[in-house]
Structure 1
C-alpha cells in the first residue's frame, strides 16, 4: 500500500464481468481527471495463444486434464507482484499488452493472441489500476493481495458466471458449447485453488444474483438482464461507509447484513459511482499531501 502511488485492483474469473467494472472506473477517472496506468491481467499470462494451445495438448498427452490459465504455472505471478511492489514504492514498473483480436493487434503489426514487448509504465501517473484474474492472488511464493490500496472482487453466482462465459465465447469467439464446457471443467481445480481464495482478501465484493431460472446454464440462450438481477455488495470493513446515504440514493435497495447492501442489478454502476468516487477523492488527497511532504 502506498499513499504516494496508490493501487486499485479488480479481480474476478473469466466471464465474471470485470471488464464492465473497468469501464465504470474509467468514467470516474475521466470525470475526476485522474491519470491512471491501466493494466490488463491477461498480459501476465506466461504463454501466448499458440504456445498455450501447444502446451495444453502436451499436458493432456501426459494425463493432465486441468491445465488452465487460472493456475500458477501458466502465469507470471512473481512479475505481477513486482509491478505492484515497484509501483507502490516509486510509481514505476514494467508492463505489456495482450492483443486479443485483430483490431487490437493491427496497430502493433502483430498477430492476435500475442504480447507486445515489455516496456516501462508511463511517467507521472496518479495511480495503478489492474483488472484481471489474479489481482489478489496469494501463494507460498507471492502475495499480490498485500499491495493494493483498494481490492474489489467481482463474483457472480457460479451459474451466471458460466452463462456469461458461454455467451461471450460462443458469440464473440466462435466457440461451441462443448468447447466452452470443456474449458470450464478443465479450469475447475485452479478455480477452486487460485480464484476463490482471493475473495477473502478483497475490501469490497460485488456479486450479481439472477432472479430468473439459471439452473442449467449450458442450455440458456441469453444472459439474464440487469433488471432480472440483484447485486449483493459486501464490505470487509464497513466502518466509514454511509449505508443510509446509499439506501436513500438507490431505490429498492436494502441491507441484508450489517456489512452488506443489496441493490437492483440495473443500479450496479450507480452504486459503484457512489461508493468509489469518495475512495478516489481520498486517495488523491492523501497522494497530494504525501508528495507535498517530500
Structure 2
C-alpha cells in the first residue's frame, strides 16, 4: 500500500470510536535506551490500554547465519522490512498481526505471537523510520540519539548481563556494525518529530554519578505542548527552552532537562509540567524508572512529554 494511501486511511474518522490506535515510533541504534523509554510509557498508560512491539524481531537470518554471511542486523537486506511494513499498516488500521519473535538471548527464532493493537501502540527498534511507508503509519516519531560512548557503555552492560556476550565480543560487534550504523540507522534521525539525547550537561564539570541530562529537539512537524507558561523561575534550575540550529541548519526548539538539578527542583519540575499538560489527570507511578531500579528525572520529563502527545492524539480525533 503506498504511503500516501496509508496516511489517507488513518486521517479518516473511524467507527467505532477508538478502533484505530495512536501509533508511536521509538527508533535508534542498539542500546540507545528505546526499551527503557517504552517500558515507562507502557507502565504509565497501563498494559490494558497499550501494546508494545519490537520490530527487531523481523530479522531474516539468525545470529549464526548472519555471521556466516558476514552481515549485521543493521543491514536492511538482513531483515524482512517489507513484512514489517505490512504489519505496521495493519496495526495502524486496528488489525491484529502474527508477529515473528527473535530470541536475543540465544540468537534464534521462537514461536510467533498474536498481537492485538490496543488504544496505543508503541513500536521500538532499529528500522521503524527507515521507509516512507513505515513512517506513514505513525502519529508521533522519536529517535534516541545518545553520544556513542554512552550508547556503547549501555550496550555492553545489557549484552553481557542478559544476552550471553562477553565484553570483548560486544566491542568487536560494535566495531563491525559501525559502517552499517552510519549508513542505515543514524540517518533515520532526520525523520523524527522529537530527538531525545541523554548525555552529561555540556560545559559543566559535574562529579561522577551525576544523572545524565536530557536534550529534546522539538521539531515543528507536530504540535508540541505550550511550555513557556510552565517555565517559571521556580523550575528554571531544572529545565530551560532555547532555539538552536538543527543538523541541517534549521532553527528548532531545544528543551534541556538538567540532571544536576536537586531532587527537590526535579520534583517541582515534574509536578509543574504534569499539572500544566495533563488536564487534571493523576500523575502515573513509575515514570523515569531505569533498569537498575533507580530513577531519572530527565527520563521522567521525556516520558511526560510523550504521554502528552499520545493523549492529545486521542482528544483531537
1:128 and 2:129 equivalent? no
Measure the CA separation in 2 of the matches of 1:28 and 1:209. 24
Structure-2 residue corresponding to 1:159: 149
Distance verdict in 2 for CA 1:68–1:100, change over 3 Å? closer
Measure the CA separation in 1 of the matches of 2:230 and 2:130. 30
Measure the CA separation in 2 of the matches of 1:7 and 1:39. 11
* Aligned partner (choices 16, 22, 33) of residue 6 of structure 1: 22
Measure the CA separation in 2 of the matches of 1:167 and 1:250. 33
1:26 and 2:42 equivalent? yes
Measure the CA separation in 1 of the matches of 2:230 and 2:68. 50
1:68 and 2:72 equivalent? yes
Q: Secondary structure at the match of 2:307?
A: helix
Residues 183-209 of structure 1: CA deviation (Å, up to 9, x unaligned):
111111210111111111111111011
Q: Secondary structure at the match of 1:94?
A: strand
Structure-2 residue corresponding to 1:42: 56
Unaligned runs of 5+ in 2: 1-6, 12-19, 244-251, 260-295
Could you tell me how far 1:152 is from its partner in structure 2? 1.0
Could you tell me how far 1:29 is from its partner in structure 2? 1.4
Residues 145-200 of structure 1: CA deviation (Å, up to 9, x unaligned):
22211111111011111121122223444533332221111111210111111111
Compute the TM-score of the two structures, normalised by the length of structure 1: 0.75
Structure-1 residue corresponding to 2:216: 233
Q: Secondary structure at the match of 2:124?
A: strand
* Aligned partner (choices 60, 79, 101) of residue 97 of structure 1: 101
Measure the CA separation in 2 of the matches of 1:192 and 1:241. 32
CA contact 1:24–1:269 (8 Å) conserved in 2: no
Measure the CA separation in 1 of the matches of 2:308 and 2:211. 29
Unaligned runs of 5+ in 1: 60-66, 102-111, 214-223, 290-294
Compute the TM-score of the two structures, normalised by the length of structure 2: 0.70
* Higher RCO (CA-CA < 8 Å; seq separation 6+): 1
After superposition, where does 1:240-255 map in structure 2 within 5 Å? 240-245=224-229, 247-248=231-232, 251-255=237-241
Structure-2 residue corresponding to 1:81: 85
CA contact 2:24–2:123 (8 Å) conserved in 1: yes
1:267 and 2:294 equivalent? no
Could you tell me how far 1:268 is from its partner in structure 2? 2.1
Distance verdict in 2 for CA 1:209–1:91, change over 3 Å? same
Measure the CA separation in 2 of the matches of 1:164 and 1:246. 32
1:279 and 2:309 equivalent? yes
Aligned-pair RMSD on alpha carbons?
2.7
CA contact 1:12–1:155 (8 Å) conserved in 2: yes
CA contact 1:69–1:75 (8 Å) conserved in 2: yes
Residues 239-259 of structure 1: CA deviation (Å, up to 9, x unaligned):
443222553457421124251
1:137 and 2:130 equivalent? yes
Could you tell me how far 1:90 is from its partner in structure 2? 4.1
CA contact 1:212–1:228 (8 Å) conserved in 2: no
CA contact 2:101–2:113 (8 Å) conserved in 1: no
Residues 38-93 of structure 1: CA deviation (Å, up to 9, x unaligned):
21122111223xxx22341343xxxxxxx211111211111111111122234333
Q: Secondary structure at the match of 1:247?
A: coil
Residues 265-293 of structure 1: CA deviation (Å, up to 9, x unaligned):
4322321243122222222234xx5xxxx
CA contact 2:23–2:121 (8 Å) conserved in 1: yes
